[in-house]
Amino acid sequence: MHRVWQDGECWLCDADDRPVLWIGPVQTDTGTAPMFACKPCIRRLEERVRRYEAAIDNAPAR
């Protein structure tokens, strides 16, 4: 996956003027905007995704 980093504000931790990566659109009742995250926040998101996937893989069959 090719990632395009740019200087900006992390929407997750509010850190400013650091490399951020577009992680997708965020949609709320008031509108839609592009969401950006810094490397530490992306690592935390990746870990949450790994835990989620592991929980699905280990869930009993229905």
Residue 22 has a pLDDT of 97
CB 12 within 8 A of CB 37: yes
Burial pattern 21-59, b for ≥16 Cβ within 10 A else e, equals bebeeeeeeeeeeebbbbeebbeeeeeeeeeeeeeeeee
Residue 58 has a pLDDT of 82
pLDDT by 10-residue block (mean), the chain, 62 residues: 91 98 97 98 97 88 72
The pTM (predicted TM-score) of the whole model is: 0.80
